[in-house]
């Protein structure tokens, strides 16, 4: 199904929150719009529920894999080529710990990076409506919806005194065009 | 919630009086004002770095890897950068985890040093061939195959990679500002690095968690790296130096130098970078307290080790003390003791000095010099032993060697590598605005002004 994007730009936080409220009143669910800003705002500012993320799982899995690899390299090597020296135990624990720790950290690190890329959908390959004024302090409300609801989204965004409203076809202005 | 009071002319952190747009304008001014001011120091830095590289090529490299003493100042430069530039990002993580608000303008000043990690990494690779294998000598590796070369290099690679990831991800939102509003020359790299960043809710949620996670991973890698370096570069190269305290001393004193470097960076940014609104007494005072605490830890860890050797009094222990403390490197030790512990304690113990901007800055400069002298002392002592003195599981230093006096090439190497790190930081400031907009504006959104009787309070929320 085709998805159309509409981006409302607001100068201040109050207008942006009003736009989010107007969208909800117009029947748009929270998953249909996204808030774009140049700094993180407190969770729930725009009425969003704190979502579930699985980032913590990635370093845990990575650490477990890294630890297992470290154990396999160190323990496996010594067991495969058993050389008893001076009656000492076959498995030399202190250097094994260092290498297993390295493996654990490397695994956690690599999987964290993969988790970040997966969970934040970075790098973003597709195109999304965006305006450089967002990094200047404007707040963007990006609506992703079905083509037949695009006009309704624009109407809701206009209620909150936007600075501009952009669609895939260009700037549609903050007020409806007079016929 | 944190509160800041303001009544009867008491100083209030200026940052909390600003509007978010003021912060954005400061950052935009920063990225648009790049020019002659930074060009000259960068040029000087590049020249010194090139001279340092030439000195490495012409002297230690020409003499070969077998003569480890010729590499002494390459190792000093490496260990000093690891103790300062590589330690600073760890401070940033600690402050983030503590969830303090005063740290918001400070983070960038410490994280930016992660961009220099490539220099110690390359120096480490150069130094690796100077070490003998660990089969026939005492070391932390117990003769493990390919140690210390492969496993040490892997650790350093992990630290360098984590450091760059940390620097990249923590500055991603500000790189997007440069991408959108920087000059054409700045935009290319910034656009590539911030590709896909639009500041969506999902991305912000990830940003906050990921920066913390990667920062914690960085600390978790940094501590074992310093432990292994302390063992490979110092303990294992001095026969008879049997100590379990030294790696902790080495790591703790590196954190001390990392704090000092952050304070000096803040002072430079305040004086010459137009950051007086963001880096005020609150930040210097808070970090001054940390610096004092770590200066006390310097003494604690040094004393814990010294007292064992002092009371042991075996010939082995006496020789180690003669080498490191009492005879060969007596003056470097006295200077190190004074500059890392005695002077910081005597200066920062006074409340009015600790509560100032100049006090912690002066002490931070002293600590940075003191740390360098300490690293020179330790490395010069350790690199004075030939392989023959280590092999055969040598348990004792039979002859206390003479002090190593640096030549011109050694000084060129040391100054050149430090200048290279400074140049990298200056170059990074082309792409990383001060203050960090995401950090400071994120804090301002949590701020509220409240009257309280005759005073005015600023209340800063801590969202869960």
Summarised one tens digit per residue, pLDDT across range A14-24 is 999 999 999 99
**CA distances (Å), origin A55, targets A111, B206, B211, B376:** 9, 8, 12, 43
> Rounded distance, CA B382 to CA B205, Å?
48
Q: How far is CA B237 from the centre of its chain?
A: 24
Cis peptide before B270 (omega within 30 of 0): no
> Rounded distance, CA B56 to CA A165, Å?
60
* Mean pLDDT (whole number) for A121-143: 82
Angle, CA B73 vertex, CA B256 and CA B231 arms, to 5°? 60
User: Torsion-angle region of residue B10: left (phi > 0), alpha (psi -120 to 50) or beta?
Assistant: beta
Cα-based torsion angle of the residue sequence B61, B67, B69, B71 in order, rounded to the nearest 10 degrees: 20
The pLDDT of residue A179: 47
The pLDDT of residue A121: 64
* B80 occurs within a structural domain: yes
ipTM greater than 0.85, yes or no?
no
Fold for domain A4-39+137-171?
A: Alpha-Beta Plaits (3.30.70)
A63 close to B (CB below 8 A): no
* Mean pLDDT (whole number) for B408-427: 97
The pLDDT of residue B368: 98
User: Torsion-angle region of residue A137: left (phi > 0), alpha (psi -120 to 50) or beta?
Assistant: left
> Structural domain of residue B332, as residue ranges?
17-444
The pLDDT of residue B210: 84
DSSP alpha helix (H) spans, B313-403:
315-321, 330-337, 343-348, 351-354, 358-382, 387-390
A136 close to B (CB below 8 A): yes
* B8 occurs within a structural domain: no
Chain B: closest CA distance from residue A179 (Å): 35
3-state helix, strand, coil split of chain B in percent (to 5) is 70, 5, 25
> Rounded distance, CA B456 to CA B451, Å?
4
Report the SS3 class of residue A143: strand
- For chain A, the domains span 4-39+137-171, 57-119
User: Which residues of chain B does A136 touch, with a Cβ-Cβ cutoff of 8 Å?
Assistant: 24, 28, 177, 180-181
* Mean pLDDT (whole number) for A131-158: 92
Across the interface, do B217 and A94 touch by the CB < 8 Å criterion? no
Predicted confidence (pLDDT) at residue A178 exceeds the cutoff of 60? no
User: Which residues of chain B does A130 touch, with a Cβ-Cβ cutoff of 8 Å?
Assistant: 198
Count of structural domains within chain B: 1
Q: How far is CA A82 from the centre of its chain?
A: 49
Question: Which residues, in sequence order, are bridge partners of residue A145?
Answer: A4
Question: Which residues, in sequence order, are bridge partners of residue B449?
Answer: B458
The pLDDT of residue B422: 97
Q: Which of residues 12-41 of A touch B (CB under 8 A)?
A: 13, 34-41
The pLDDT of residue B8: 44
The pLDDT of residue B7: 43
pLDDT digits (tens, 9 = 90+) for A28-74: 988 889 899 999 888 888 877 666 677 788 889 999 999 999 999 88
Tokens representing B108?
Answer: 């960038």
CB-CB contact of A31 with A166 (8 Å): no
Chain A: closest CA distance from residue B208 (Å): 8
The pLDDT of residue B464: 63
Tokens representing B353?
Answer: 């000095």
The pLDDT of residue A50: 64
Cis peptide before A152 (omega within 30 of 0): no
CB-CB contact of B277 with B13 (8 Å): no
**CA distances (Å), origin B228, targets B8, B57, B148, B381:** 53, 27, 9, 18
The pLDDT of residue B12: 55
């Amino acid at each position: 199904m085709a998805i159309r994007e509409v981006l409302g730009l607001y100068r201040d936080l109050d207008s942006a929150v009003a736009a989010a409220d107007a969208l909800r009143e117009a029947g748009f669910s929270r998953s249909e719009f996204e808030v774009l800003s140049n700094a993180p705002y407190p969770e729930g500012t725009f009425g969003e529920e704190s979502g579930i993320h699985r980032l913590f799982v990635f370093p845990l899995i990575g650490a477990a894999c890294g630890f297992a690899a470290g154990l396999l390299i160190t323990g496996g090597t010594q067991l495969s080529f058993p050389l008893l020296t001076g009656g000492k135990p076959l498995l030399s624990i202190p250097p094994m710990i260092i290498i297993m720790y390295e493996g654990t950290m490397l695994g956690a690190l690599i999987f964290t990076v993969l988790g970040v890329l997966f969970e934040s959908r970075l790098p973003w390959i597709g195109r999304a409506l965006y305006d450089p004024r967002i990094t200047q302090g404007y707040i963007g409300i990006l609506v992703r919806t079905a083509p037949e609801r695009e006009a309704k989204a624009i109407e809701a965004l206009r209620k909150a005194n936007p600075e501009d409203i952009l669609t895939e076809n260009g700037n549609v202005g903050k007020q409806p065009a007079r016929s | 919630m944190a509160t800041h009071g303001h009544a009867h002319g008491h100083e209030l952190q200026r940052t909390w009086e600003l509007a978010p747009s003021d912060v954005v304008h400061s950052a935009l001014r920063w990225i648009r004002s790049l020019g002659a001011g930074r060009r000259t120091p960068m040029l000087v830095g590049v020249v010194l770095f090139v001279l340092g590289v030439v000195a490495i090529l012409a002297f230690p490299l020409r003499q070969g890897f077998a003569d480890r003493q010729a590499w002494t100042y390459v190792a000093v430069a490496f260990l000093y950068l690891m103790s300062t530039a590589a330690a600073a990002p760890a401070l940033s993580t600690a402050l983030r985890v503590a969830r303090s608000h005063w740290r918001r303008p400070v983070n960038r000043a410490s994280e930016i040093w992660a961009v220099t990690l490539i220099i110690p990494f390359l120096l480490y690779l150069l130094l690796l061939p100077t070490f003998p294998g660990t089969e026939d000598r005492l070391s932390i590796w117990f003769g493990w195959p390919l140690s210390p070369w492969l496993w040490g290099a892997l650790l350093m690679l992990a630290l360098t990679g984590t450091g760059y990831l940390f620097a990249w991800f923590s500055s991603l939102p500000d790189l997007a500002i440069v991408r959108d509003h920087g000059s054409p020359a700045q935009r290319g790299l910034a656009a590539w690095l911030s590709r896909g960043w639009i500041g969506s809710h999902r991305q912000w949620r990830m940003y906050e968690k990921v920066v913390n996670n990667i920062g914690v991973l960085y600390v978790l890698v940094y501590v074992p790296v310093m432990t292994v370096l302390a063992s490979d570069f110092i303990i294992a190269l001095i026969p008879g130096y049997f100590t379990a305290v030294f790696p902790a001393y080495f790591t703790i004193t590196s954190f001390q130098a990392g704090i000092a470097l952050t304070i000096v960076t803040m002072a430079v940014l305040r004086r010459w970078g137009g950051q007086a609104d963001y880096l005020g007494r609150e930040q210097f005072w808070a970090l001054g307290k940390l610096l004092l605490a770590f200066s006390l830890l310097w003494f604690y860890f040094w004393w814990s080790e010294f007292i064992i050797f002092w009371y042991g009094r075996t010939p082995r222990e006496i020789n180690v003390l003669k080498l490191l403390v009492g005879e060969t490197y007596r003056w470097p030790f006295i200077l190190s003791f004074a500059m890392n512990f005695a002077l910081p304690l005597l200066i920062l113990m006074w409340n009015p000095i600790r509560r100032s901007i100049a006090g912690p800055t002066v002490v931070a400069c002293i600590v940075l010099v003191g740390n360098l002298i300490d690293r020179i002392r330790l490395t010069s002592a350790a690199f004075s032993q030939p392989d023959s003195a280590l092999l055969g599981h040598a348990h004792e230093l039979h002859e206390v060697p003479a002090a190593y006096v640096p030549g011109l090439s050694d000084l060129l190497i040391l100054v050149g590598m430090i200048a290279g790190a400074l140049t990298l930081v200056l170059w990074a400031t082309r792409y990383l605005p001060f203050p960090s907009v995401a950090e400071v504006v994120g804090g301002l959104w949590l701020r509220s002004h409240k009257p309280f009787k005759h005073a005015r309070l600023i209340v800063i929320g801590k969202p869960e």
